[in-house]
């Protein structure tokens, strides 16, 4: 193999092709493996598990040795022989029993990084063929204000939709309102008790219904728990609510008009809450939107004998065999009303047919895993999701310090807006010279959101975690404010020393600079992992690492007072690239960086 292959001048297209350093090194190793007649699948190079020994490692000699019945050390030596003269390696050596340890030259790392800086996505790999992905998250229910339990879905969902877009997929997100279940009938019946004379309840009324809602959104949020309590305590009341729901779903005019008010006033309130969180949805659809599709869908399922009648209801058995205890999915209840699973199925149908969705990702509490298991299985059986991949990102619970689902001091559920206010009060108003009151508010806002978002996203999403604002709002440690502080610090350094246009990233001259450069070069891996596994915490780990290594670099490397102009400019260029990385990664997490703080 010639040197020219490895020392290629066209790093930019290599980066676009391979996406990250490990992938590129793996490719080089694969060439050598091929040459030596070894199976390429063992040529994987990964970031070293022991960074004090080397930057990267390849462990392929061990499985190869088993197959070839030879010593792994000898195999590794043959591989290394083929690579030893390549100029990109500072060291490449075999250690017992057959690990190959790799360290790149500072020159190559700088060149690689300089090339990523010129690329649109800082070298992060773009998908070859975009997939049409729909995200279903948020899932708020009409008439219920958002509370702390609602926070994970929009934060995780929003991060994932940003990452998917960033990687080049075609993304559509749907808030998917809970607007079609028995709760709707409960509300109708409760309002009938309050205002029995309203025209909505008169079956003979043929005129126009009032334009204004008879209740406000705040009233609605009080009516709902009252109605729900009443139905829990009294089977007769529940029965009435069920009937009202079935009537609504079958299109009873007055109920529909009343229901429209609930949805409209709830949606305005929800839009306000979500926009305060900085979370965006492309579609504001809900369970009710697919009502027109349900009749035919159910009939078809019956015709195909995928669905069956059972005690007056229509169900889809989804258990795969005798020992599979998954209960059947109920499509239509005996009173004629449809359920949450039915609308989910019809929504899949709609998304696949009308939106050409190839993948649908549901970001919903893991306590709903059984529901999605049933829905996905029924969708397969009914043949409505043949070409679409269905994924449930089931996240864990947000707990209080007692390890139980978070409650306020008085034992109630904390409203989402209260939570944000508490985060704001901890962010505090700092004394910053020359900023207006509005700017100060904006800073507090950004710090508060960074506090909450980073705390949430930095956990593996499946885990439950303890919600501890005191800890999350610290300016030290793995927190949102620490990250913002680090990014803002770079902004202020650059304001002071100015930016450069010409300077390229140059080979590191210190250990801390090298660490910073290597960390920067690992952004594409963090993005790729998040994309492939739908796990935002990789981005959080990256951002936190970046902040730590940058702060170390900055402590070691004077900038403003550096008299060697080339060195100074190279450091400025590195600060600029670090800031660009913060901007990308924090943006993917849904976190805004203020100018000052």
Cβ partners under 8 Å of residue 486, min gap 6 = 546, 547, 550, 551, 582
Report which DSSP code applies to 431. -
Binding mask 359-398 for ligand ARG (x = CB under 6 A): ---x-x----------------------------------
455 burial type by CB count under 10 A (0-12 exposed, 13-18 middle, 19+ buried): buried
Helices (H), 428-510: 437-457, 469-472, 480-497
End-to-end CA distance of the chain: give it in Å, rounded.
53
Whole-angstrom Cα distance, residue 200 to residue 191?
10
Angle (CA) 91 116 173, round 5°: 125
CB of 353 to ligand ARG, least distance (A): 17
**Closest separation in Å from C-beta 176 to ligand ARG:** 5
Q: Could you say which of 54, 55, 59, 141 contacts ligand ARG (CB under 6 A)?
A: 141
User: Does residue 524 touch ligand ARG according to CB under 6 A?
Assistant: no
CB of 367 to ligand ARG, least distance (A): 9
Q: Taking CB under 6 A as the rule, does residue 176 contact ligand ARG?
A: yes
Comparing CB distances to ligand ARG, the nearer of 86 and 136 is 136
Q: Is residue 179 close enough to count as binding ligand ARG by CB under 6 A?
A: no
Q: Taking the mean position of all CA atoms in its chain, how far away is CA 572?
A: 32
As measured in angstroms, the least distance from the Cβ of 550 to ligand ARG is 39
Backbone angles phi, psi at 154, to 5 degrees: -65, -35
**8 A C-beta contact, residue 167 and residue 124:** yes
Q: How far is 454 from 439, CA to CA, in rounded Å? A: 22
Residues 41-100 interacting with ligand ARG (rule: CB under 6 A): none
For ligand ARG, which stretch binds (CB under 6 A), given 133-141, 240-248, 291-299, 399-407? 133-141
Q: Is the CB of 104 or the CB of 364 nearer to ligand ARG?
A: 364
Q: Is-contact 455 472, C-beta < 8 A?
A: yes
Rounded distance, CA 267 to CA 167, Å? 31
Residue whose C-alpha is closest to residue 136's, from 183, 168, 171, 167: 171
Q: Is 136 in the site for ligand ARG (CB under 6 A)?
A: yes
Shortest Å distance, C-beta 179 to ligand ARG:
9
Q: At what angle do helices 565-588 and 523-533 cross, to 10 degrees?
A: 10
Choose between 99 and 281: whose C-beta lies nearer to ligand ARG: 281
- Among 145, 178, 328, 590, the residue binding ligand ARG under the rule CB under 6 A is 178
Give least dist CB 506 to ligand ARG, A.
Answer: 51
Q: Which helix (H) or strand (E) holds 499?
A: none
Report, in Å, the least distance between residue 364 CB and ligand ARG: 4
Position closest to ligand ARG via CB: 139
Alpha carbon of residue 47 to chain centroid: 24
Tell me the window of 135-143, 211-219, 351-359, 389-397 that interacts with ligand ARG (CB under 6 A): 135-143
Instruction: Work out how close the CB of 299 gets to ligand ARG at its nearest, in angstroms, rounded to a whole number.
Output: 23
Our CB check for ligand ARG shows the closer of 281 and 362 to be 362
Closest CA relative to residue 307, chosen from 329, 276, 278, 285: 329
Token digits of residue 40: 């390429």
Please tell me whether residue 24 binds ligand ARG under the rule CB under 6 A. Answer: no
Binding mask 330-349 for ligand ARG (x = CB under 6 A): --------------x-----
How far apart, in whole angstroms, are the C-alpha atoms of residue 314 and residue 294?
12
Angle at 198 between CA 195 and CA 199, to 5 degrees: 160
- Nearest approach in angstroms of CB 146 to ligand ARG is 11
Mask 275-294, x = binds ligand ARG (CB under 6 A)? --------------------
Give least dist CB 191 to ligand ARG, A.
21
Nearest CB to ligand ARG, comparing residues 136 and 247:
136
Contacting range for ligand ARG; rule: CB under 6 A; set: 116-124, 136-144, 316-324, 584-592: 136-144
Residue 235, preceding bond cis, omega within 30 degrees? Answer: no
Q: How far is the CB of 358 from ligand ARG (least distance, A)?
A: 17
Q: Note the residues at the interface with ligand ARG (CB under 6 A).
A: 136, 139, 141, 176, 178, 344, 362, 364
């Amino acid at each position: 193999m010639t040197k020219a292959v490895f020392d290629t001048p066209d790093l930019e297209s290599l980066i676009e092709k391979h996406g990250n350093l490990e992938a590129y090194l793996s490719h080089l190793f694969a060439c050598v493996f091929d040459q030596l007649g070894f199976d390429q699948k063992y040529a994987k190079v990964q970031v070293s598990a022991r960074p004090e020994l080397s930057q990267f490692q390849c462990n392929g000699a061990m499985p190869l040795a088993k197959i070839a019945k030879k010593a792994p050390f000898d195999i590794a030596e043959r591989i290394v022989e083929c690579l030893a003269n390549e100029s990109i390696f500072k060291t490449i050596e075999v250690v017992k029993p057959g690990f190959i340890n790799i360290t790149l030259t500072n020159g190559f790392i700088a060149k690689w990084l300089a090339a990523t800086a010129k690329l649109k996505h800082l070298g992060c790999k773009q998908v070859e063929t975009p997939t049409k992905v729909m995200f279903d998250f948020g899932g708020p229910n009409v008439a219920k204000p958002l509370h702390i339990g609602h926070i994970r879905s929009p934060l995780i969902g929003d991060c994932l939709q940003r990452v998917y877009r960033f990687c080049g997929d075609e993304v559509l997100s749907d808030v998917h309102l809970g607007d079609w279940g028995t709760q709707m009938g409960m509300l109708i019946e409760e309002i009938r008790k309050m205002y029995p004379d309203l025209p909505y309840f008169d079956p003979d009324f043929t005129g126009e219904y009032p334009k204004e809602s008879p209740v406000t959104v705040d009233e609605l949020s009080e009516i709902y728990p009252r109605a729900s309590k009443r139905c829990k305590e009294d089977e007769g009341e529940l029965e009435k609510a069920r009937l009202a729901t079935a009537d609504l779903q079958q299109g009873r005019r007055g109920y529909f008009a009343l229901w429209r008010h609930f949805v409209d006033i709830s949606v305005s309130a929800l839009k306000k809450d979500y926009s305060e969180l900085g979370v965006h949805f492309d579609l504001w659809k809900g369970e009710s939107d697919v009502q027109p599709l349900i009749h035919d869908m159910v009939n078809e399922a019956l015709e195909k004998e995928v669905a069956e009648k059972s005690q007056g209801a229509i169900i889809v058995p989804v258990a795969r065999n005798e020992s599979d205890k998954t209960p059947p999915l109920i499509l239509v209840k005996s009173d004629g009303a449809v359920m949450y699973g039915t609308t989910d199925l019809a929504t899949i149908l709609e998304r696949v047919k009308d939106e050409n969705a190839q993948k649908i990702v549901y970001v919903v509490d893991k306590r709903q895993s059984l529901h999605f298991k049933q829905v996905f299985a029924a969708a397969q059986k009914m043949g409505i999701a043949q070409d679409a991949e269905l994924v449930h990102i089931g996240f864990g619970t947000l707990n209080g310090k007692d390890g139980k689902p978070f409650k306020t001091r008085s034992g109630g559920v904390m409203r989402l807006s209260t939570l944000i206010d508490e985060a704001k009060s901890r962010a505090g108003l700092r004394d910053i010279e020359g900023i207006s009151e509005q700017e100060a508010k904006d800073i507090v806002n950004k710090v508060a959101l960074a506090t909450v978002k980073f705390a949430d996203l930095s956990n593996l999403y499946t885990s439950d975690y303890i919600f501890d604002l005191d800890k999350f709002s610290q300016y030290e440690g793995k927190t949102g404010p620490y990250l913002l502080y680090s990014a803002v610090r770079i902004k202020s350094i650059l304001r002071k020393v100015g930016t450069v246009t010409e300077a390229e990233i140059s080979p590191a001259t210190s250990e801390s600079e090298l660490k910073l450069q290597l960390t920067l070069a690992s952004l594409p891996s963090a993005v790729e992992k998040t994309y492939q596994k739908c796990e935002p915490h990789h981005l959080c780990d990256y951002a936190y690492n970046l902040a730590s290594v940058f702060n170390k670099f900055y402590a070691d490397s004077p900038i403003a007072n550096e008299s060697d102009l080339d060195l100074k400019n190279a450091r400025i260029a590195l600060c600029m690239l670090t800031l660009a990385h913060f901007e990308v990664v924090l943006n993917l997490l849904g976190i805004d960086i203020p100018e000052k703080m």
